């Protein structure tokens, strides 16, 4: 069946809403969000006006890393539901015109995956071990790890096989997440099967976890961790495109994605894929090419302060970088890995030091406990800036990825007791990095009532603070100026705004961003301290702050249409 280019290009300017299933809605009251919970909230998503949802992993998992430790790629965690529940959810979402994207974690499995268990049991030199990265330890007893490398979450990146055979396995993340060997044919074939499995069930595409990391070459002499970190830093800065790194952004990773693309294109419209790749701007097009994954996340705007000049630089840079692949941009301010932006913009501390960019995953370092658990915050400012920044990105060409709860203006929950924390980042750094649980607290649906409407049974799997109810959906719907009503209005208007993909900057003071889209609509963000007077001939159709007609107050974004001529 032929697909029209309009249908095939649905993703280019889509609004994709990220659901973290365990924290969205708990239909059976066991304290864990589930697929039936999502199905029960389809009307909410439809009224919000999103084009697609992206589901973080819902596969069987020991939850050592919030589900990014997958034990079976082609099933549903029994605590979250069944494949029938998945089909029912898909049907309900599709009926409401909402597409579904699922998360694929190809860099590593859970240590509960049957292949890893088989690998441990089969012993050194076996074909089963070839699917992962096993190496002999160092020293006469092989009781030292093969290298001194650290994992992204802190602590060593190698763990002993536990079989008294002198072997260690590599895990870039937690010790419960052994890395795959992507030179292995079984691994390659299995993922093709996984893509077909979900493609045949009707999903519209995939979000690819750690897309920069699958291809590795561990043969030959390996650098020290210090050398490795320096190589990573170079790799992440522009102009080092030729630098070869043993585990990071290797050219041959694209060969893997080219084989996936053939499968994606068997579907009509072709399945989409968006890469989570932390790579230099001059490498991003490789992941976003129509022959490979097709789209790549950009987190640059998320790392910016609320600053017009910084935003403009990022936007120009981002749009320029896309020319090579012809892909569309992705705009992201929050996700399940970062401090929610309503809190980030309120923090009286730098959001990301440039040196953080040299670490493997810069965003995790935003959760450094120092300065965050007891931050100087101004929540009202945080929310004002968050609303303004979101309205600014929603007007840009490209697709926007929203994270569940940001439409409620939810802040980060900073003070989760240590005993209730779940993030391996917290445990592996002895609490030095407090981790990402604060942005994963289950959603408040009702101001009052048991667990704020998240579920009616057991305690939610992460505790809700006592002030959670004031951010609930039901009260937000009643308040015309709520963040939820702002998002809903914006999404409805956006259907007209997203016409072509061009963007034209208009003259404005340095602390103001002012751009025009091809249909004449304009967006103005004021990050300055005084009002910005709107030039003649425009009508305000949306304001992220108070209602205005002729000016843009500080920390506010407005959308403008050309005034009808009289």
Binding site for Ca ion (CB under 5 A): 26, 28, 30, 32, 34
Residue 170 is a binding residue for ligand NOJ (CB under 6 A): no
Q: What is the DSSP string of 472-533?
A: -HHHHHH-TTSHHHHHHHHHHHHHHH-SSS--EE----TTEEEEE-TTS-EEEEE-SSS-EE
Number of other residues whose CB lies within 10 A of the CB of residue 402: 25
Q: Which residues are 399's β-sheet partners? A: 330
Closest CB to Ca ion among 40 and 240? 40
Total residues contacting ligand NOJ by CB under 6 A comes to: 10
Q: Are 295 and 274 in contact (CB under 8 A)?
A: yes
Residue 249 is a binding residue for ligand NOJ (CB under 6 A): no
Residue 65 is a binding residue for ligand NOJ (CB under 6 A): yes
Q: How far is residue 274's CA from residue 260's CA, in Å, rounded to a whole number? A: 12
Q: Which two tokens stand for residue 454?
A: 């998240």
H/E element, 116: helix 114-122
Closest distance between ligand NOJ and the C-beta of residue 105, in Å?
A: 6
Q: What is the DSSP string of 56-96?
A: PP-SS---TTTT-S-S-TTS--TTT--HHHHHHHHHHHHHT
Closest distance between ligand NOJ and the C-beta of residue 208, in Å?
A: 10
Closest distance between Ca ion and the C-beta of residue 226, in Å?
A: 45
Determine the residue with CB nearest ligand NOJ.
Answer: 68
Residue 337 is a binding residue for ligand NOJ (CB under 6 A): yes
Residue from the set 16, 48, 210, 414 that interacts with ligand NOJ by CB under 6 A: 210
Closest CB to ligand NOJ among 210 and 434? 210
Q: Residue 227's closest CA among 213, 203, 208, 246?
A: 246
Closest CB to Ca ion among 37 and 145? 37
Q: Are 42 and 6 in contact (CB under 8 A)?
A: no
Tell me which of ligand NOJ, Ca ion, none is bound by residue 65, counting a contact when its beta carbon lies within the kind-specific cut-off of 5 to 8 angstroms: ligand NOJ
Closest CB to Ca ion among 78 and 537? 78
Beta strands 52-55; 99-104: pairing state: parallel
Closest distance between ligand NOJ and the C-beta of residue 426, in Å?
A: 12
Closest distance between ligand NOJ and the C-beta of residue 366, in Å?
A: 13
Residue 434 is a binding residue for ligand NOJ (CB under 6 A): no
Closest distance between Ca ion and the C-beta of residue 66, in Å?
A: 16
Stretch that binds ligand NOJ, among 63-71, 265-273, 398-406, 524-532 (CB under 6 A): 63-71
Q: How far is residue 341's CA from residue 304's CA, in Å, rounded to a whole number? A: 11
Closest distance between ligand NOJ and the C-beta of residue 370, in Å?
A: 22
Q: How far is residue 546's CA from residue 533's CA, in Å, rounded to a whole number? A: 15
Closest CB to Ca ion among 58 and 172? 58
Instruction: Compute the half-sphere exposure of residue 130: CA atoms within 13 Å on the CB side of its CA.
Output: 9
Closest CB to ligand NOJ among 105 and 247? 105
Q: Are 218 and 135 in contact (CB under 8 A)?
A: yes
Q: Are 367 and 424 in contact (CB under 8 A)?
A: no
Q: How far is residue 250's CA from residue 358's CA, in Å, rounded to a whole number? A: 17
Closest distance between ligand NOJ and the C-beta of residue 336, in Å?
A: 6
Tell me which of Ca ion, ligand NOJ, none is bound by residue 32, counting a contact when its beta carbon lies within the kind-specific cut-off of 5 to 8 angstroms: Ca ion
Q: Which two tokens stand for residue 41?
A: 């909230």
Closest distance between Ca ion and the C-beta of residue 458, in Å?
A: 9
Closest CB to Ca ion among 62 and 357? 62
Closest CB to ligand NOJ among 191 and 306? 191
Binding positions for ligand NOJ, rule: CB under 6 A: 65-66, 68, 105, 173, 209-210, 276, 336-337
């Amino acid at each position: 069946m032929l697909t029209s280019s309009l249908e095939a290009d649905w993703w280019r300017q889509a609004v994709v809403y990220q659901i973290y299933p365990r924290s969205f809605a708990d239909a059976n009251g066991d304290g864990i969000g589930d697929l039936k919970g999502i199905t029960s909230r389809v009307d909410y998503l439809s009224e919000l006006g999103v084009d697609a949802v992206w589901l973080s992993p819902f596969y069987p998992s020991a939850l050592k890393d919030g589900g990014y430790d997958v034990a079976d790629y082609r099933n549903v965690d029994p605590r979250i539901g069944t494949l029938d529940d998945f089909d029912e959810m898909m049907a309900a979402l599709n009926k409401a015109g909402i597409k579904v994207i699922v998360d694929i974690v190809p860099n590593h499995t859970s240590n509960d995956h049957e292949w890893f268990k088989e690998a441990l049991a089969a012993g050194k030199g076996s074909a089963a071990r070839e699917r992962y990265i096993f190496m002999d330890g160092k020293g006469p007893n092989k009781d030292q790890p093969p290298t001194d490398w650290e994992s992204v979450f802190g602590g060593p990146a190698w763990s002993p096989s536990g079989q008294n055979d002198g072997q260690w396995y590599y895990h870039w993340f937690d010790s419960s997440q052994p890395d795959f060997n992507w030179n292995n044919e079984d691994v390659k074939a299995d993922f093709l099967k996984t893509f077909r499995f979900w493609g045949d069930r009707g999903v519209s595409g995939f979000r690819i976890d750690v897309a920069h990391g699958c291809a590795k070459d561990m043969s030959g002499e390996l650098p020290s961790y210090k050398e490795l970190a320096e190589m990573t830093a170079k790799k992440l800065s522009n102009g080092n495109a030729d630098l070869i790194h043993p585990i990071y952004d290797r050219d041959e990773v694209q060969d893997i994605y080219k084989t996936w693309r053939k499968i994606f294109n068997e579907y009509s419209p072709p399945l989409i894929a968006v890469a989570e790749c932390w790579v230099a701007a001059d490498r991003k097009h490789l992941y976003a090419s129509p022959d490979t994954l097709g789209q790549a996340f950009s987190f640059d705007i998320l790392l910016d302060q609320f600053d017009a000049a910084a935003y403009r630089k990022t936007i120009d840079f981002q749009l320029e970088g896309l020319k090579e692949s012809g892909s569309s941009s992705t705009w992201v301010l929050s996700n399940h890995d970062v401090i929610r932006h309503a809190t980030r913009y309120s923090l009286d501390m730098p959001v990301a030091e440039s040196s953080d960019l040299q670490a493997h995953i810069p965003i995790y370092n935003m959760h450094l406990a120092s300065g965050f658990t007891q931050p100087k915050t101004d929540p009202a400012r945080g929310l004002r800036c968050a609303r303004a920044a979101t309205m600014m990105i929603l007007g840009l060409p490209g697709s926007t990825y929203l994270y569940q709860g940001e439409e409620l203006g939810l802040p980060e929950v900073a003070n989760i007791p240590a005993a209730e924390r779940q993030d391996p980042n917290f445990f592996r750094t002895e609490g030095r990095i407090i981790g990402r649980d604060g942005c994963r607290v289950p959603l408040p649906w009702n101001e009052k009532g048991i667990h704020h409407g998240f579920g009616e049974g057991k305690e939610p799997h992460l505790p809700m603070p006592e002030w959670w109810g004031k951010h609930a959906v039901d009260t937000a719907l009643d308040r015309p100026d709520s963040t939820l009503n702002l998002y809903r209005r914006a999404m409805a208007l956006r259907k007209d705004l997203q016409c072509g993909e061009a963007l034209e900057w208009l003259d404005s003071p340095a602390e103001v961003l002012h751009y025009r889209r091809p249909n004449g609509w304009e967006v103005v963000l004021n990050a300055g301290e005084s009002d910005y007077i709107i030039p003649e001939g425009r009508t305000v159709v949306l304001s992220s702050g108070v209602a205005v007609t002729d000016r843009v107050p500080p920390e506010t974004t407005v959308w403008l249409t050309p005034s009808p001529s009289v």
